[in-house]
Chains A and B, each alone.
Chain A
Amino acid sequence: LIRSINDPEHPLTLEELNVVEQVRVKAISVCFQQVNDAESTVAVEFTPTIPHCSMATLIGLSIKVKLIRSLPERFKVDVHITPGTHASEHAVNKQLADKERVAAALENSHLLEVVNQCLSARS
């Protein structure tokens, strides 16, 4: 499920991801930190390949989208960077946790296409 997500490159915020043109294939390490079926919550940590990876937001967003699409609707999905593995982890985590920013960003068809590319390509 998670292993099929790519590791692309470019700017930092959800809104800046709008300009991403190209996607490169690479594996990313993801850990299901907590799955609570009774409370319908899933918390996932991912480790960007390098501490200054500017694609961390896109990776996180792709993981989030993949989980939301794969899990029953009742699930609350939290995706964050493995603590200590990225220079801007707070900023990235905060964006991924903001459902309004995520929803607004995903209304952009180009970004949605990039996310779908991330989720579909095989290495």
Chain B
Amino acid sequence: SPRPVPAGPGWACRAVLGEGHQRTVRKVAWSPCGTYLASASFDATTCIWKKQPDGFECVTTLEGHENEVKSVAWAPSGNLLATCSRDKSVWVWEVDEEEEYECVSVLNSHTQDVKHVVWHPNQELLASASYDDTVKLYHEEEDDWVCCATLEGHESTVWSVAFDRSGERLASCSDDKTVRVWRQYKPGNEEGVACSGTDPTWKCVCNLSGFHTRTIYDVAWCHLTGALATACGDDAIRVFEESSPAAPQQPTFSLAAHNSPGRAVTLHCSASVLRTSVEAEPSRKNRPRVSFSRHMSLMARAVFPVSFLE
């Protein structure tokens, strides 16, 4: 059974949910209302946990994927959930007031494992990242979920995607050691970018290359400051800030902070705090050496997920 994790300053472990999954838990996500926690597992299921006064209760288990579930994400509305898997599919689930979950779509657009799903901040638009080197976008069209865009350009697996605050741009990170920023161009746009029908076109407007020396596993876009953070297999966390004045069609980002293995580097994130966690490999001991404070010193190993606190 899982061992209790030593708490950092100001943090206490409230619960260990050890009975839900039979294999690695790959991703967890809080619902927008904060009452529910979804957990995605290699055992091909996604558990939905409800916060109770005395702990958490598993209210349902979402089944259907053929193999490892890699990611789960709640839509901002709170009524929709998305999951994705090595089985190449993305599933969209609807939840009603009676806590009943129903799969409303199985999207088979990707040709390889799907690593990550994330929702647009204010539209019912879903993005997925895949081993097939693409990012795909989906929305509902006449009661059916469809793939409305495919973002090509990465030269290897796309591990993660993040939208900026407005949702006009998204950032993707890849095994090809680059982060790409894509921008949405709606039909009739001033820049003259062609669109087919009523769907926006997404174009790559920035390619951050030469900064990372190994696979980039995660990217986070701070909705407060606009900074981009990356989690890389070379054991470093990098924070990029957008150069101003902002040139929307050709944004440039510069490296604002970077921690390297063996050296503690202080990251000053003025308005927001960077949270990250250390990967745990099944056969090795997990040695977290991360502390949280306004000015942070980080020594991490093979950074896997990274996110900004809202």
- Residues of A at under 8 Å CB distance from B? 15, 40, 73-74, 76, 94, 97-101, 103-104, 106-107
From B23, B115, B156, B283, contact of A94 by CB (8 A): B156
Is the beta-carbon distance between B157 and A98 smaller than 8 angstroms? yes
- Please tell me if B282 contacts chain A, counting CB pairs below 8 Å: yes
Closest to B156 in A: A94
Query: A101 to chain B: which residues have CB within 8 Å?
Result: 86, 113
Is the beta-carbon distance between A100 and B70 smaller than 8 angstroms? yes
Query: B214 to chain A: which residues have CB within 8 Å?
Result: 76
Closest to A95 in B: B131
Is the beta-carbon distance between B156 and A104 smaller than 8 angstroms? no
Interface of chain B, main secondary structure: loop
State in angstroms the CA–CA spacing of A101 and B283 once bound together. 15
Is the beta-carbon distance between B24 and A15 smaller than 8 angstroms? no
Is the beta-carbon distance between B67 and A15 smaller than 8 angstroms? yes
Interface residues on chain B, number (Cβ under 8 Å): 23
Nearest CB of chain A from residue B114's CB, rounded to whole Å: 12
From B42, B175, B233, B301, contact of A107 by CB (8 A): B42
Nearest CB of chain A from residue B25's CB, rounded to whole Å: 12
Closest to B284 in A: A73
For window 58-84 of chain B, which residues contact chain A by CB distance below 8 Å? 67-68, 70
From B42, B157, B175, B284, contact of A104 by CB (8 A): B42
From A40, A74, A104, contact of B68 by CB (8 A): A104
Query: A107 to chain B: which residues have CB within 8 Å?
Result: 23-24, 42, 282
Q: Please, could you name 18 A-B residue pairs with CB atoms under 8 Å apart, sorted by A?
A: A15-B67, A73-B284, A74-B301, A76-B214, A94-B157, A97-B215, A98-B131, A98-B175, A99-B215, A99-B233, A100-B115, A101-B86, A103-B24, A104-B24, A104-B68, A106-B282, A107-B24, A107-B282
State in angstroms the CA–CA spacing of A106 and B283 once bound together. 10
State in angstroms the CA–CA spacing of A97 and B215 once bound together. 9
Query: A100 to chain B: which residues have CB within 8 Å?
Result: 70, 115
Is the beta-carbon distance between B86 and A103 smaller than 8 angstroms? no
Query: B175 to chain A: which residues have CB within 8 Å?
Result: 97-98
Nearest CB of chain B from residue A56's CB, rounded to whole Å: 18
State in angstroms the CA–CA spacing of A99 and B216 once bound together. 12
Is the beta-carbon distance between B233 and A76 smaller than 8 angstroms? yes
State in angstroms the CA–CA spacing of A97 and B282 once bound together. 17
- Please tell me if B281 contacts chain A, counting CB pairs below 8 Å: yes
State in angstroms the CA–CA spacing of A119 and B42 once bound together. 26
